[in-house]
Amino acid sequence: MIKVCLADNHPIVHYGIKSYFKDSSEVSIVGHAENFQALEEILNKKAVDIVILDLDLEGLSSINLVKSMVKDYASTKLVIYTNLSEQMYAPNALKAGVSAYVHKTAKLETLASALSKVNNGSVVFSDVVKKNLALIGKRNKSERLYRKLSTREIEVLRYLSDGKKNKEIAKILDLNEKTVSTYKLRLLTKLNVTNLVDLVNKAKTLEIV
């Protein structure tokens, strides 16, 4: 039996996944966490084979925390289950050491299949992500821009797009406010815009956020 912990902000997601697997002979939901602190508490107390993790989980402010989880809980595998752009976030998730990336638009059968494959040692990413990783030199405009942005720049851009101020972003990411300003200037340059409104609009147009 695969022991799974679900970490997601939304009770309806917990209910839906628990209902789907309630009669499963392969998957047992052994924990529920609605924020990052609760997830760590569960992992420190229980043996968990796989965590189904939403990148929007409350308290999960940076991909660096995902990297730390991979290191600190080496016997537990991470399956990302999120609404965040697969094209944008899956490559960085792969680099961080997660075992699968499933978009929430996929059927629950896809998630179930990913859990089974990951438990057997596979790394599960869609053909689209694999193709994008393989064809580094053959990208459209938005894909080339993805490659220009660092993981930290993507995180800063995400919070800017959510309407957060530099001071708020600095606190969330544990950075100096001046450092956030530097990232913001880099983003303006790399995305070839001159102000925050255009920066956010361009990011949305290109599906970067």
Res 101: pLDDT:
94
User: 111 CB contacts (<8 Å, ≥6 apart)?
Assistant: 17, 52, 79, 81, 102
Res 138: pLDDT:
47
Residue the block writes with tokens 């290191």: 71
Measured distance between the N- and C-terminal CA atoms of the chain, rounded to whole angstroms: 36
pLDDT for 93 beyond 60: yes
Average pLDDT over residues 168-196: 89
Under DSSP, is residue 67 helix (H, G, I), strand (E, B) or coil? helix
Q: How confident is the model at residue 89 (pLDDT cuts 50, 70, 90)?
A: confident
Q: Which amino acid is at 197?
A: V
Average pLDDT over residues 46-75: 92
User: 65 CB contacts (<8 Å, ≥6 apart)?
Assistant: 36
Res 94: pLDDT:
84
Q: How far apart are CA 74 and CA 64, in angstroms?
A: 15
Angle 127-134/86-96 helices, nearest 10 degrees? 70
Under DSSP, is residue 178 helix (H, G, I), strand (E, B) or coil? helix
Among 34-43, 127-136, 161-170, 186-195, name the one with the lowest average pLDDT: 127-136
Q: Residue 152: how many CB atoms within 10 A of its CB?
A: 17
Q: Residue 130: enclosing H or E segment and its boundaries?
A: helix 127-134
pLDDT for 29 beyond 60: yes
pLDDT for 119 beyond 90: yes
Average pLDDT over residues 7-36: 95
Average pLDDT over residues 30-56: 95
Burial class (CB in 10 A: 0-12, 13-18, 19+), 120: exposed
Q: Is the dihedral of CA 57, 60, 65, 69 positive or negative?
A: negative
Length of the chain: 209
Res 146: pLDDT:
54
Share the mean pLDDT of the chain: 87
